[in-house]
Amino acid sequence: MNLALFVVVLVVSFIVVRIGAIAFQLTGLEWSVAKFQSLSCFTSTGFTTKEAELITGNPQRRRIASFLIVLGHAGLVTMIATFANTLRPQLVTQKFSVPFLPFDIPSTALPWINLVIAVVSIYIIYRVFTNTKVARKLTESLRHRIIKRAGLRPISFEELLLAKGGYGVANVRIKDGHPLSDKPLSESGLRKEDIIVMAIVRGDETFANPGADRRIQAGDELICFGKLENIRQEFM
């Protein structure tokens, strides 16, 4: 029973980490960063990297991280307890039989058998969840459910680089109906918010260091540098 619970908790832990990564991605984090930070929060590793500041500086991401930390602690305690119980000698009976085996197995061998089963289970679960096809299908299924049930929507904002003082580079997509759509940069007011547009990507064209008369159009991607909090407020 303890071994079965250990395997179940292990599977659930992998799924929770994947859900956390998807939730982080839906808030605008790049996928590799989202996966790493989700695992970091769930295991309470707490890497002090610049990427971690992307989590602490955003209220929605802090809530996601809080849930991952709480669930991670609960999962870790449960896994340790169930794993320890699987290695305890069985004192109730001296021997036990296994179907299809012509001999009985002493109860003192049970902890070693459970250990082998646990190691094999960890390996199989790891291989399944890191398989590209399986991971992709699971991720898409979970993303669909999260968007449908939790009401989260992917945002057109991606933080690319974090510098000291909260400054960084962000890739922003201009949606239809955005206030900046069909406005020249000179009338955008971005400079007043300490935001510099370094490039505008429009389809296959890239306008590097665009001039003040360059108009912003719906569907454009703006590569901006500035205070990330100001960029969030302006485009989110």
Which helix (H) or strand (E) is 157 found in, with range?
A: strand 157-162
Question: The CATH number of the domain where 171 resides is what?
Answer: 3.30.70.1450
Same domain membership, residue 142 and residue 56: yes
**What is the DSSP secondary structure assignment for residue 214, as one 8-state letter?**
P
Instruction: Judge whether 227 and 191 are in contact, CB under 8 Å.
Output: no
Burial 40-78 (b: 16+ CB within 10 A, else e): bbbbeeeeeeebbbbbebbebbeebbeebbebbeebeeb
Domain count, the chain: 2
- Give 3-state DSSP helix, strand, coil % of the chain, rounded to 5: 55, 20, 25
Same domain membership, residue 224 and residue 171: yes
Q: d(Cα 172, Cα 184) in Å, to the nearest integer?
A: 16
Q: Which two tokens stand for residue 208?
A: 């590097």
| Residue 147, number of CB atoms within 10 A of its CB | 14
Same domain membership, residue 167 and residue 70: no
Same domain membership, residue 15 and residue 104: yes
Same domain membership, residue 140 and residue 36: yes
- Of 124, 150, 176, the position where a domain reaches its end is 150
- Of 104, 122, 150, the position where a domain reaches its end is 150
Q: d(Cα 230, Cα 65) in Å, to the nearest integer?
A: 22
Among 61, 80, 69, smallest CA distance to 22 is for 61
- Of 127, 150, 173, the position where a domain reaches its end is 150
Same domain membership, residue 161 and residue 126: no
Same domain membership, residue 30 and residue 140: yes
Same domain membership, residue 178 and residue 108: no
Q: Which two tokens stand for residue 202?
A: 């429009």
Q: Which two tokens stand for residue 125?
A: 């679960």
Same domain membership, residue 175 and residue 103: no
Same domain membership, residue 87 and residue 161: no
Per-residue pLDDT of the chain (236 residues; tens, 9 = 90+): 677 787 888 888 888 888 888 888 777 777 777 888 888 888 877 665 666 767 776 777 888 888 888 888 887 878 777 777 776 665 545 555 555 555 566 666 677 777 887 788 888 888 877 777 777 888 888 777 766 665 555 555 666 666 667 788 888 888 888 888 899 999 999 988 889 999 998 888 889 999 999 999 988 989 999 888 888 788 76
The residue segments making up the domain with residue 227 are 157-235
